[in-house]
A and B are shown apart, each in its own frame.
Chain A
Amino acid sequence: MIFQKNKVTKKIAFILVIFTIFISLGAVSLEAGGCEKAFFRCFDDPYWRAAPFGIIYCATGYLFCKKYIEG
Chain B
Amino acid sequence: MEKRKGLLAVSLVMVSLFLQTQFLFGKELSKIFLEEVLSVGSMDDDALFQWVGVVTDLNYIYVTDAMDYSLKKFDTKGNLLKKTGRKGQGPGEFLAPRLLDSSDQLLYVTDQYIPGIHVFDRDLEFRHKIPLIMLVGDLKVISDKQIAVVTFAYGQIGKIFFYDDKGKVIREFDYSTKKSSLLMDSISFDIDFHGNIYLAYNFQDKIEKFDAEGRKLWSQELLRIGRVKRKKIASMVVPTKIVYKDVVLDTSGKLFVLGGNLSKNPSRDVYVLSQKGEHLTTFTLPETSHCIYIDGQDYLYSRANDGVTLKKYRMKAVNK
Report the interface size for chain B: residues with CB under 8 A from the other chain.
Answer: 41
Flag if A68 contacts B290 (CB, 8 Å): yes
Flag if A61 contacts B234 (CB, 8 Å): no
On chain A, the residues within 8 Å of B98 by CB distance are 64
Of the 9-residue stretches B5-13, B21-29, B39-47, B70-78, which lies at the interface with chain A? B39-47
Flag if B43 contacts A11 (CB, 8 Å): yes
Q: Whose C-beta in chain A lies nearest to the C-beta of B182?
A: A59
- What's the nearest-Cβ distance from chain A to residue B49, in Å? 6
Interface size class of A (residues with CB under 8 A): 20 to 34
**Is B1 an interface residue, CB under 8 A from the partner?**
no
Interface of B is mostly: loop
Number of residue pairs spanning A and B whose beta carbons lie under 8 angstroms apart: 90
Docked CA distance A11–B44 (Å):
9
Q: Known contacts A43-B234, A43-B236, A68-B307: does B113 contact A57 (CB below 8 Å)?
A: yes
Of residues 18 to 71 in A, which have CB atoms within 8 Å of B's CB atoms? Answer: 18, 33, 36, 39-40, 43-44, 53, 55-57, 59-64, 66-68, 70-71
Q: List the interface of chain A (C-beta within 8 A of B).
A: 3, 6-7, 10-11, 13-14, 17-18, 33, 36, 39-40, 43-44, 53, 55-57, 59-64, 66-68, 70-71
Q: List 17 A-B contacts (CB under 8 A).
A: A6-B46, A7-B43, A10-B43, A14-B308, A36-B238, A39-B238, A40-B234, A43-B236, A44-B234, A56-B134, A56-B135, A56-B153, A59-B238, A60-B137, A61-B112, A63-B183, A67-B291
Lowest 3 CB-CB distances: which A-B pairs, in order? Answer: A43-B234, A17-B67, A68-B290
